[in-house]
Every structure is written in C-alpha cells, then in structure tokens.
Amino acid sequence: MDIKAAALLAEMQSLQGEARNMAAVQETAPRQDFAELLGQAVNKVNGLQQTTGDLRTRFELGDPAVGLEQVMISAQKSSIAFDATVQVRNKLVESYKTIMNMPV
C-alpha cells in the first residue's frame, strides 16, 4: 500500500485552513445565552396575554375599533404561545430529571 505523503499533507493543510475559517466565523457570530432566550420567550408570551386581555376589555366596553375576530385571533395566539412554552418547560424538567438520575 503506497501512501502519497505530499498529497496527504496537502489535504491536511487544506482541512486545517477550513477549520480555522470556521472557528473565525464562530467567534464573530453573536452568542446568546439559553436563559436569555428563555426569558425573551416568556416575556413575549406575557406580552401576548396582556394584549389579549386589553383587547377583551376594550371589546367588552364596546370599543368600535376592536372586532370580535381580533379578540379571538389574539386569544388563540396567546393560547398557542402559552402551550408551547409549557411544553418546553416540561421537556426541560424531564431532561433535568434524566440527567440527575444518571449514575456517575
């Protein structure tokens, strides 16, 4: 079996250059903390629920600028967002329990 050292060396140098380029791209990409992302998601759900509550109140008080369809769509959006957040929380708790039950 004949291995061509020059070709292998050239291939390794090429891969090394690509790895350096990828590392440079990763360093310049903004990093977001998971807790920050989760906090933003919870804040967005809270905002949707507050908007829905405001629209419901305005509709109940007879505000002509607010239609029933707006209230119902807003309620569905906030309900779906809340359900999705609860599912993410459930998965996180399940993952935490799995990790804590792992033998060390």
Query: How confident is the model over 26-83, as pLDDT tens digits?
Result: 566 566 787 888 889 899 999 999 999 999 999 999 999 999 999 999 999 999 999 9
Give the pLDDT score at 32: 72
For the chain, count helices (H), then strands (E).
3, 0
pLDDT-derived band at 1, boundaries 50, 70, 90? very low
State pTM to two decimals: 0.62
Within 13 Å of residue 55, how many CA atoms lie on the same side as its CB?
A: 20
List Cα–Cα distances, 72 to 41, 49, 55, 88, in angstroms.
22, 12, 9, 24
Report d(CA 63, CA 43) in Å as an integer: 27
